[in-house]
């Protein structure tokens, strides 16, 4: 088997993990989902999901990663002692491939906008420009170029590639966003945008809760890279001295800060230009902001800085997604890293090209399918940590923990019972919406509770059977 790489420093791991999470999910996806789902109503639900589900779920994935010391397929089979662990790991790898297939298409859009922003190529007719470049052979070409950049970094490994690039790019993203947020605050007409974004609207939330909770939860999972095995893979390179609870808090807070900061740039700027922030879907960032940049003094310079920032964030997230399937080939099959990178990239070149040619398929994959895959993956992780491992999970949690040790048992209780119910509710909510079923809030909650209890009983019987069989 090939020699396994590792992080040079803990700060390198933290920056890489934040960079892996804080990418297009925060700067491309978060603002238009927030704008299209009530602004502050979406923001408050999103923050609650991050705290209640994201933090304990991310910590669970870190525990699995460091305990397993391998990528999802091998780690989950070893930890569960069952073949279905391998299938779950393969499901996680598939999830990363699905996400990166559309992610690299959007990365290609960002790359193109970064290159043409200095001359304001899209200022005259932003809607028509985006329509002409978003899908088609041109989009395929830029998807391949973006994928090549990401693959080139992963090609050199964890310490020499991913860690070094993350240490430079992530601070750059934060600094430029801070500068843009300060500049946006000086623009006329932004007050309405800040009100929409930051003033809590209880009436809107009460009337639209079921419509808001799904996108907010999906965004939280997407932006924290939960349920795909990405963070499991990153944590597998950690040593026992790292405090998983501390690193989890730093990563979750940093990631959330970057998302909220991106909203402080995008949403007030749209209001200042009289642009409806809820229109445009995946293309809203490009069309609406292009309209704003075109009317501003020095707009081409601001546009270049903005899209260069988004490009850096997209690259760091693309790296984390590509690392999981590449590391799986390295760990499980002994394929040399460079050869594995080429093989996986070749597959993604094909799948991403297909999405770059078809708008309807792209929107389904980047929205509903991605959210479903991540939700199923996170549910499986909570079952393994909270019900199957238990004592092993507590031991891994406590290694290097220090003053956070008292959190161990409350965390395990949350992962074992609260998270499965909430995540199963989210899954039921998404499936019911897809099927056009009207279950209501109470009906979906009852299904989530009954489903969790039934699965807990089944897992308990399996554990008991194994225990009796070993004596």
- The DSSP letter of residue 361 is H
Q: What is the pLDDT of residue 12?
A: 62
Task: Write down the pLDDT at residue 1.
Answer: 41
Q: Select from 240, 238, 244, 237 the least CA-distant residue to 408.
A: 244
**CB < 8 Å & 24+ apart, contacts of 361-368:** 362/102, 362/105, 362/135, 362/282, 363/281, 363/282, 365/98, 365/101, 365/102, 366/102, 366/106, 366/282, 367/218, 368/430, 368/434
The Cα–Cα gap between 326 and 328 comes to 5
Rounded Cα–Cα distance for residues 420 and 458 (Å): 14
Whole-number Å distance between alpha carbons of 230 and 236: 10
CA distance 208 to 211: 5
Per-residue tokens: 371: 């959210």
Decide: 62 and 231 in contact? Cβ < 8 Å: yes
Task: Please count the residues of the chain.
Answer: 471
Rounded CA separation 256/26 (Å): 8
List the one residue out of 103, 113, 107, 108 whose CA is nearest residue 286. 113
Residue 403, Cβ density class (10 Å: 0-12 exposed, 13-18 middle, ≥19 buried): exposed
CB 107, CB 318: distance < 8 Å = yes
C-alpha 102/C-alpha 133 separation (Å) is 15
Ramachandran category for residue 297: left, alpha or beta (phi over 0 → left; psi -120 to 50 → alpha): beta
Q: Which two tokens stand for residue 412?
A: 């395990």
C-alpha 361/C-alpha 355 separation (Å) is 6
Contact 125, 287 (CB under 8 A): no
**Separation CA 86–CA 133 (nearest Å):** 40
Q: Which two tokens stand for residue 279?
A: 């229109």
Residue 385 sits at the vertex; the CA angle it makes with 383 and 387, to the nearest 5 degrees, is 55
Give the pLDDT confidence score for residue 262 in this predicted structure. Answer: 86
CA atoms within 13 A on the CB side of 193: 25
| Other beta carbons less than 10 A from residue 439's beta carbon | 17
pTM of the model: 0.86
pLDDT, residue 135, reads 94
The sign of the dihedral angle between the CA atoms of 47, 289, 170, 264 is: negative
Mean pLDDT in runs of 10 for the chain (471 residues)? 54 65 74 86 93 92 92 90 89 94 94 93 86 93 96 71 61 80 87 92 88 85 85 85 87 87 86 71 71 79 84 82 89 89 96 94 87 90 90 90 84 92 85 77 86 82 63 53
């Amino acid at each position: 088997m090939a020699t396994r790489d590792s992080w040079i420093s803990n700060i390198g791991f933290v920056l890489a993990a934040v960079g892996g999470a804080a990418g297009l999910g925060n700067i491309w996806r978060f603002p238009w989902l927030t704008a299209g789902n009530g602004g502050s109503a979406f923001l408050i639900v999103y923050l609650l999901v991050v705290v209640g589900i994201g933090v304990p779920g991310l910590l669970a994935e870190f525990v699995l990663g460091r305990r397993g010391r391998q990528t999802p397929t091998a780690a989950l089979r070893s930890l569960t002692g069952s073949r279905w662990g391998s299938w779950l790991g393969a499901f996680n790898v598939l999830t990363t491939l699905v996400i990166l297939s559309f992610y690299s298409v959007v990365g290609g859009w960002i790359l193109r906008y970064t290159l043409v922003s200095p001359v304001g190529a899209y200022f005259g007719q932003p809607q028509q420009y985006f329509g002409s470049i978003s899908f088609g052979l041109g989009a395929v070409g830029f998807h391949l170029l973006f994928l090549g950049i990401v693959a080139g970094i992963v090609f050199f490994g964890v310490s020499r590639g991913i860690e070094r690039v993350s240490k430079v790019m992530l601070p750059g993203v934060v600094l430029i966003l801070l500068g843009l947020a300060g500049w946006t605050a000086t623009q006329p007409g932004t007050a309405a945008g800040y009100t929409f974004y930051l003033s809590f609207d209880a009436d809107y939330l009460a009337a639209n809760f079921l419509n808001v909770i799904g996108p907010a939860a999906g965004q939280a999972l997407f932006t924290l890279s939960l349920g795909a095995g990405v963070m499991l893979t990153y944590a597998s390179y950690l040593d026992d001295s790292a405090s998983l609870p501390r690193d989890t808090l730093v990563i979750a807070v940093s990631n959330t800060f970057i998302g909220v900061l991106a909203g402080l740039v995008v949403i007030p700027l749209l209001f200042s230009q009289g642009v409806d922030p809820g229109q445009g879907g995946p293309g809203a960032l490009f069309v609406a902001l292009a309209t704003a940049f075109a009317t501003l003094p020095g707009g081409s310079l601001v546009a270049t800085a903005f899209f260069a920032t988004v490009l850096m964030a997209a690259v760091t997230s693309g790296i984390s997604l590509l690392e999981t399937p590449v590391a799986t080939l390295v760990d499980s099959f002994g394929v040399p890293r460079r050869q594995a990178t080429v093989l996986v990239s070749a597959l993604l070149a094909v799948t991403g090209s297909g999405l770059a040619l078809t708008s309807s398929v792209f929107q389904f994959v980047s929205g509903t399918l991605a959210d479903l895959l991540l939700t199923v993956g996170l549910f499986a992780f909570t079952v393994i940590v909270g019900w199957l491992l238990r004592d092993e999970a507590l031991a891994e949690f406590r290694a290097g923990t220090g003053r956070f040790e008292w959190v161990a048992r409350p965390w395990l209780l949350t992962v074992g019972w609260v998270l499965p119910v909430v995540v199963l509710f989210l899954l039921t909510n998404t499936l019911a919406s897809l099927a056009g079923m009207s279950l209501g809030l109470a009906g979906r909650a009852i299904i989530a509770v009954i489903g969790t209890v039934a699965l807990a009983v089944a897992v308990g019987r399996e554990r008991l059977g194994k225990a009796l069989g070993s004596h």
